[in-house]
Structure 1
Amino acid sequence: MPDHSKPSHGTAHRKTVPHRRLLLKGLAALPLALPFRSASAGTAKYQLKFRHTHTDELLDVVFRDNRGYIAPAIQRMNWLLRDHRSGEMIHMDPQLFDILHALRARCGGETFEIISGYRSPLTNASLRSHRRGVAKNSLHMDGRAIDVRLVGFDTARLSQAAVDLGIGGVGYYPRADFLHVDTGDFRTWGAARS
């Protein structure tokens, strides 16, 4: 299996929040609705829908328009993709969201199920101690990787669509039925694709 670990340069900024404040902050952020931009006004909308498999949180958000990324939307996505074990949040690489949007545009489907977003170094070490395939220097720890499924779409076909994009790392895990994508160098691993 190719190494899908992070490069050794640079560290990401992590933010730890006490659990009660963390819960209140998350609950306050979820009901916010971002306005849709009219296609007739010449502004494209980049929308994603998520369900986190561990917290059962839902998010439907327009994260980008013709002017760029929408900061409140990115913040809400960062919150959703926090390490659900420790409560730590990181600034996720927004290119991940572009990759997911491109996959959704190619494949259809509605909602991405999140299996794993950000992982703190402690969480990553814990997972690595009792699971195969968890990289020591995982890009999850830098906010540059996400593990997902697309509801109603075959994960093997989603994997092939991700490979066809030719962007970042693409790992297919058929037994657990999820796709890993990251913003590292282009590389693939996992079961053979059709």
Structure 2
Amino acid sequence: MNRRYFLGALLSAASMPALASSVFSRKTADQARVLSFYHLHTEDRIDVVYRIGDRYQRSALQKLNYFFRDFRTGDAVTMDPQLFDLLYDVKSRLGDPDARFDVVSAYRSPATNAKLRRTSGGVARKSLHLTGQAADIRFPDLPLRYIRDTAVALNRGGVGYYPKSDFVHLDTGEVRRWGA
């Protein structure tokens, strides 16, 4: 066997794992992140690619800002994109890429938050719903405890468990948890 041929074959074989790794990481970096939601109060539905690789999709985020509006007043804010990342990661860890979240509540205007504080318990004065950093969600056919346990395992933001009200609160604030 020719020495040049041997060295060339050896170098080619050695570079294959690096090449495969490069192709895989490029494919992963360009992966589309899709979220699906149904809003229980407005009956709106949305399926959206909100991020491709490391790039948030501006038009998708604008649609999500509207979708996550205060359903009582119609007011909307810019939602924290990290909330969508958290929701995506919960969905992915639960193993169903086509899962659709039911949204109970997301953004709350100051007027709505004040009204809820007066009429029901457990509503924080400085709720992260006010800043577009929180959503109350569930999956139609999945026990809430799975969502809670998955979100707690991610160790990102707040996780509130409300089995009597049939939702899990997720937010992008400090890591903490509450509820039964």
Q: TM-score, normalised by structure 2?
A: 0.82
The structure carrying a bigger helix percent of its residues is 2
- What is the CA–CA distance in structure 1 between the aligned matches of 2:159 and 2:85, rounded to whole Å? 14
Aligned to 1:81: 68
Equivalent position to 1:47, from 34, 53, 68: 34
Q: Measure the CA separation in 2 of the matches of 1:187 and 1:51.
A: 26
Q: Which of 91, 97, 116 does residue 78 from structure 2 map onto?
A: 91
- For the pair 1:58 / 2:54, whether they are aligned, the reply is no
Matched-pair contact (CA < 8 Å) for 1:89–1:118: yes
- Measured in 1, the distance between the counterparts of 2:50 and 2:167 equals 23
Q: Deviations over 1:67-99 (max 9, x none)?
A: 410000000000000011111110000000000
Opposite residue 47 of structure 2, the aligned amino acid is D
Any idea what the Cα deviations from partners look like across 1:115-174, whole Å, max 9, x if unmatched?
A: 011000000000111111110110100001110002221111110100000000000001
Equivalent AA in structure 2 for residue 101 of structure 1? Y
Q: Deviations over 1:8-66 (max 9, x none)?
A: xxxxxxxxxxxxxxxxxxxxxxxxxxxxxxx9x82201000000000000000010012
Q: Does 1:104 align with 2:73?
A: no
Relative to structure 2, which stretch is displaced further, 165-174 or 104-113? 104-113
Paired letter, 1:91: T
Counterparts of 1:69 and 1:126 in 2: how far apart (Å)?
A: 34
Looking at structure 1, the residues matched to 71 and 49 of structure 2 have their Cα atoms a distance apart, in angstroms, of 23
Is the counterpart of residue 120 in structure 1 residue 105 in structure 2?
Answer: no
Which letter does structure 1 place at the counterpart of 2:101?
Answer: F
Match of 2:169 among 152, 174, 180: 180
Name 1:141's counterpart in structure 2.
130
Distance in structure 1 (CA, Å) of the matches to 2:139 and 2:83: 15
Q: Who is 1:6 aligned against?
A: none
Separation of aligned partners in 1, 2:95 and 2:38: 16
Structure 1 consecutive aligned stretches of length 4 or more whose deviation exceeds 2 Å: none
* Match among 155, 165, 168 for residue 144 of structure 2: 155
Q: Is the 8 A contact 1:107 1:153 kept in 2?
A: no
Percent of aligned pairs sharing the same letter: 45
- Relative contact order, higher structure (CA 8 A, sep 6+): 1
Give the superposed CA RMSD: 1.3
- Give the total of aligned pairs: 152
**When the two structures are superposed, what TM-score results if normalisation uses the length of structure 1?**
0.76
Gaps of 5+ in 1: 1-38
Matches of 1:171 and 1:86 in 2, distance apart? 24
